[in-house]
Structure 1
Amino acid sequence: MQNATHKAYAQPAANLDVQRRAKFFIGNAFFNSPWVVAPASAGARDGLGPLFNARSCDACHNNDGRGRPPERDGERLVSLVIQFATPVPGDNNEPGSDPRYGGNLNPFAIGGVDAEGTVRITHREIQGQFGDGESYTLLAPEYTFEELAYGELAHDNQFSPRVAPSAFGMGLLEAIPESTILERADLEDSNGDGISGKPNRVWDHRLKKLVIGRLGWKLNQPDIAHQTAGAFSSEIGMSTSLRPDQICTSVQTACLAAPTGGSPEISDEIFQHIVDYQQMLAVPARRHLDAPEVKRGARLFLDAGCESCHRAAFTTGDQPERPWLSRQTLHPFTDLLLHDMGPGLADGRADFDASGSEWRTAPLWGIGLQKIVNGHTRLLHDGRARDVSEAILWHGGEAEKAKEAYRTLSKSDRAALLAFIDSL
């Protein structure tokens, strides 16, 4: 059934049985509920911080949708996170941490602990023209760190602003066979089409080995469990069995001395409820499939070469323990590979095998409902694009040819291509 309301991203998969639907709503409650400072009478929900970006999963993934950069001067970062790294990787090829501030900037803290700081975002305007002479303006964000409480950032610190991605459909992406993803990997561009997608190889803390990355802006997480544990650790400041350590650095003495909510602070049972919930989230149904403009836009999408990276269809493998994900045909419009997007989008921060200019192909499914669900249309890894058209115009590197194909379309053809993307 089609849902085009503000809850379009928050629906359970239609093929869940009664017992799993009940689990879905238990997980939904934990995903949306705020965590509190320890010690608290609600022992199962305490342990927030001492340093954090948000108090709940929903604070960043509101209605299971996309985050955004701050909209006004002085607004603290919530659903946009500044991730840090050092030029030399850490253990298992993971990004190294800033010695004073760790893996990312935490703009909030519990009482008695100083928050790490905040960021001022300004924009440089980039003027351009479509092929028909119509002008456009892109906004290039520039970041200034302010109110740093623990000294200067390391001189060789590399940082990457990243907005929270949508949460729906991740269970399906987990269930795609690795061999299917690798079908389009072409590191040497052997077919000469200018597209050389590659997988990221990331550390699995459970298996203790490198595996293919499936989630995250640079495909830096192997599955929902790792992505969730990483977010609890670095952005909510709470430990799990998968990420048992606190995030305080050696200079953050008050943080180190603060009370905890136990070890781990998120019990395995609650953690699994939250992971299960995300695996059970449905993908919103497409809309307006039969509209002539949408059909025309689909042809233009193919002709421009967009499908070379935004792969239209996959089929999941057998999932005996998660039958609702088994043998499902899905249309995420991503290839789950990394592509060099050129210097305009480069952040300079390596992430496992992903270079500073390489990004995963963002899934396009559900994108037309973002305004309804999240109240904004900001796109790309740092939310710089104000709409789909700007997101396309930021494409470079391997996507330069496709971007130029879009830029040189007539106004009516551009509108048709955008109508197709909106229908997804």
Structure 2
Amino acid sequence: MSRLLALLGLVALPAAAQTLDPPNLSIVPRTPAEAGRVAGVLAPPADFRKPEPFEAMPGGAASVRARDTADAFSQSSANMPFDREMDFKLGNGLFRKLWVASPSSTQASDGLGPLYNARGCQNCHLKDGRGHVPEGPEDEAVSMFLRLSVPGGPAPEGIEDWIATQAEPTYGGQLQDFAAAGHAPEGRMRIDWQEVPVTLADGTVVTLRKPAYSITDLGYGPMAADVMLSPRVTPQMIGLGLLEAIPAADILAHADPDDRDGDGISGRPNIVWSEEAQARMLGRFGLKAGAPTVLQQSAAAFAGDMGIANALFPEPWGECTAAQSACRTAVHGIEPGKRDGLEIDRKGLDLTAFYARNLAVPERRRVDDSQVLRGKQMFHEAGCPACHVPKFVTHRLNDQPEQSFQLIWPHTDLLLHDMGEGLADNRPEGRATGREWRTPPLWGIGLTELVSGHQSFLHDGRARSLLEAVLWHGGEAEAARSRVISLPAPDREALIAFLESL
């Protein structure tokens, strides 16, 4: 335990402030026999001529049949008990709900904004899939925004390697590009593209597009000169409850912040404040692992993206800063004596989080195809599993049968990695530097076009194909990228076929 707490930077904190796993998990400790079974199951493959046992079920027993429609990411966990299906459907209703600004006759749905990025969860997470970048200056049907911060601010006591930042004084921590009537939007994101050719070893030229971000039409005066911008495209929603149920000890077992094994990979845990547990804990969610639980990620989205007051973030004005006094003093959607005195009550927040936890991972396609198996071998030989860890076994849980003791294949370590200058946003977040990102899960990545209608990858959607996404890798992934560049065309195509099968 002391080694794990040291990796989290929690050794100097009081015992009450030290925690590893999410507080919503009712964990049944593994027996020594179970721990031995888990170790055997998680061993790397010895034979690439055939699939590993249960590899076709990336979400374990929660996996669902892969559909050939845009609803492929919108199914509930296959092992969900019947008496919990209504909770999933109610959560889905809240996820799809469109909020309106106050005052309104629809008092059960008012409280939006006054500044916001979207009117509902599914406006950004369309079909529970990935967002996309703007297709033109007038494209407002996007699911992308800018995080904002400036250097400085307090650092938490006892946390090593914390990089002190704070919200931009006027515009807060996130640029809101929509506003209720009578209020001005904060501004508009602008993207300018530069073409960057990359020549592979066989002479193939792949053109990457490099973005530059700026903000136009500022609604509340100038921004701080030292503002840092971080573009974010909404990620897919599947498998979140399974990621939450991975034992923190198993995640931290992959951390090697000092690269003691000399493989060039230095995965580091981010640490964040849990509003629910009132303690610091391992970050798992968000592009820089900035949220510890599905519930907190959901609550932060209600507050930051829509301005909806909730149990974890109760301010009715959402992201409005003290400098935006008209926003703070506007009419909000809180009705005394109703909805816990909030704009969405705790029951509604819990149902939304339950829905998010139980969006099922589709089964693999072509898992036993010879080209896919060859691509899997290329994936391993290139060193990709050093960050994209193929499999874990979740905690055994008392009251979450959907996530309990499942062998899952997310292909992530949920740790922070330096991805090089090419992908750097130069905006720190907690322990994460401006060059570090959390390893994203790869499950379902081959269904992106089917669900979302595009193939846009990486944190800001700059990559227009899986090959482009690989070629943007740098830093700790530079060696793996170089191996992919040197592959002959058939092996490179097999690698992409493997990724598309996930």
TM-score, normalised relative to structure 2: 0.83
Is residue 221 from structure 1 mapped to residue 221 from structure 2 by the alignment?
A: no
Match of 1:251 in 2: 323
Q: Deviations over 1:82-116 (max 9, x none)?
A: 00011124574684111110111000000001111
Is residue 136 from structure 1 mapped to residue 206 from structure 2 by the alignment?
A: yes
State the distance in 1 between where 2:438 and 2:465 align: 19
Sequence identity percentage: 45
Q: Please, which runs of 5 or more residues in structure 1 have no aligned partner?
A: none
Match of 1:346 in 2: 424
Cα distance, 1:55 vs. partner?
0.5
Kept after mapping to 2: 8 A contact 1:28/1:274: yes
Cα distance, 1:119 vs. partner?
1.5
Query: Per the alignment, in what secondary structure is the counterpart of residue 145 of structure 2?
Result: strand
Cα distance, 1:76 vs. partner?
3.3
Match of 1:195 in 2: 265
Counterpart amino acid of 1:275? A
Q: Which of 115, 118, 122 is equivalent to 1:58?
A: 122
State the distance in 2 between where 1:41 and 1:271 align: 22
Match of 1:281 in 2: 359
Counterpart amino acid of 2:328? L
Is residue 5 from structure 1 mapped to residue 83 from structure 2 by the alignment?
A: no
Query: Per the alignment, in what secondary structure is the counterpart of residue 396 of structure 2?
Result: coil
Query: Per the alignment, in what secondary structure is the counterpart of residue 286 of structure 1?
Result: coil
State the distance in 1 between where 2:140 and 2:101 align: 20
Kept after mapping to 1: 8 A contact 2:145/2:189: no
Kept after mapping to 2: 8 A contact 1:230/1:243: yes
- RMSD over equivalenced CA pairs, Å: 1.3
Kept after mapping to 2: 8 A contact 1:77/1:118: no
Counterpart amino acid of 2:411? F
Kept after mapping to 2: 8 A contact 1:112/1:254: no
Q: Which of 73, 80, 83 is equivalent to 2:147?
A: 83
Match of 1:373 in 2: 451
State the distance in 2 between where 1:234 and 1:154 align: 20
State the distance in 2 between where 1:155 and 1:193 align: 39
Of 179-188 and 259-268, more deviation after overlay is shown by 259-268
Counting only pairs closer than 5 Å after superposition, residues 4-403 of structure 1 correspond to structure 2 as: 4-76=68-140, 78-89=142-153, 92=156, 95-245=165-315, 246=317, 247-262=319-334, 263-403=341-481
Cα distance, 1:73 vs. partner?
2.4
Query: Per the alignment, in what secondary structure is the counterpart of residue 151 of structure 2?
Result: coil
Q: Deviations over 1:136-193 (max 9, x none)?
A: 1111101121100111111111110010011110000000000000111001111100
Q: Please, which runs of 5 or more residues in structure 2 have no aligned partner?
A: 1-64, 157-161, 335-340
Kept after mapping to 1: 8 A contact 2:256/2:267: yes
State the distance in 2 between where 1:254 and 1:189 align: 50
State the distance in 2 between where 1:23 and 1:287 align: 29
Kept after mapping to 2: 8 A contact 1:102/1:248: yes
Kept after mapping to 2: 8 A contact 1:76/1:118: no
Kept after mapping to 1: 8 A contact 2:371/2:497: yes
State the distance in 1 between where 2:457 and 2:71 align: 19
Query: Per the alignment, in what secondary structure is the counterpart of residue 43 of structure 1?
Result: coil
Kept after mapping to 2: 8 A contact 1:3/1:285: no
Of 66-75 and 100-109, more deviation after overlay is shown by 66-75
State the distance in 1 between where 2:236 and 2:436 align: 20
State the distance in 2 between where 1:166 and 1:90 align: 33
Query: Per the alignment, in what secondary structure is the counterpart of residue 75 of structure 1?
Result: coil
Cα distance, 1:244 vs. partner?
1.0
TM-score, normalised relative to structure 1: 0.98
State the distance in 2 between where 1:181 and 1:350 align: 22
Distance verdict in 2 for CA 1:90–1:106, change over 3 Å: farther
State the distance in 2 between where 1:79 and 1:90 align: 31
The size of the alignment, in residue pairs, is 424
Of 389-398 and 227-236, more deviation after overlay is shown by 227-236
Counterpart amino acid of 1:314? F
State the distance in 1 between where 2:154 and 2:466 align: 36
Kept after mapping to 2: 8 A contact 1:51/1:236: yes
Distance verdict in 2 for CA 1:237–1:77, change over 3 Å: farther
Counterpart amino acid of 1:54? A
Kept after mapping to 1: 8 A contact 2:276/2:296: no
Kept after mapping to 2: 8 A contact 1:32/1:58: yes
Counterpart amino acid of 1:383? G
State the distance in 2 between where 1:406 and 1:91 align: 40
Cα distance, 1:291 vs. partner?
1.1
Q: Point out the structure with max Rg over C-alpha.
A: 2
Match of 1:423 in 2: 501
Distance verdict in 2 for CA 1:231–1:95, change over 3 Å: farther
